[in-house]
Amino acid sequence: MDAIRIFAGDCTITEDGEREQRGDVVVVIKPDDTVLIHDRDGYQPAAWLTRPETLSYEGTSGGTFSLTATDGDSSLDVVANEEHGLARYPASDAGVPVGDCPDCEGVLVRTNGAVTCLDCDERYGLPAGADVLDRACRDCGLPTMVAERGRAFTLCIDRECESLDDRVNEAFDHEWGCPDCDGDLHIVRNGQLLAGCENYPDCETAFSIPSGTVDGDCECGLPAFDTTSGRRCLDATCGRAG
């Protein structure tokens, strides 16, 4: 289980081998080894190092501890002159509750572009711009979402249950002509969802499908999309859709 480690004590803190501080502080070490050192004031740490390349810890029989975190040219050294306490607590993602996990009945939360179960750590990645709905999938019990890719598609957050790629393919495969040859654009997945020319590799024309809904045609002949940042062409380099 992921855990947050807490060390408290009268500590000497040295950053990059130069800047030195001392005080009664709490040292927080996250599961990704991020080190945060808090004193008594405000929310800003007195010192920190995010996701260091290396982290080492040493305790002593005299009731003190020391740790060293390094990341490239950055370093953070903490030496306890007097130890006040040590603790270890379970840690998980924190996010907006969106339902119950059908596998373990734990709480599902949305955070960092995914829906995660707080109990069994099951994770469902979300398409960019997707909105999770307060409505469960009839087949599996997971939450549903709305994702805009040419149309607003309502489907399960689990791509194994319902595939956004399949829905976009059904709606738009060969729907638009290629602007560079006599072929049609078909829907493919190559790291991202694309409308690519059917004559590939002879024609390498391909466009990333934006998050938005089709709103007529651009002056260039390709479809225009209504997105959160305004109206834009399927071809992101074309400036004539607005």
- Helix/strand/coil (H, E, C) string of 124-158? EECCCCCEEEEEECCCCCCEEEEEEEECEEEEECC
- Alpha carbon distance 77, 70 (integer Å): 9
Q: Where are the domains of the chain?
A: 3-90, 96-168
pLDDT at residue 120, rounded to an integer = 87
pTM for this prediction: 0.75
Report the pLDDT value the prediction gives residue 242, as an integer from 0 to 100.
65
Class of domain 3-90: mainly beta
List pLDDT tens digits, range 96-155: 999 999 889 899 999 989 999 998 888 999 999 999 999 999 999 999 999 999 999 999
**143 and 132 in contact (C-beta within 8 Å)?**
yes
Residue 208: which of 154, 76, 227, 216 has the closest Cα?
Answer: 227
Task: Give the helix, strand, coil percentages of the chain, each rounded to 5.
Answer: 5, 55, 45
Residue segments in the chain with a per-residue pLDDT below the cut of 50: none
Q: What is the pLDDT of residue 64?
A: 82
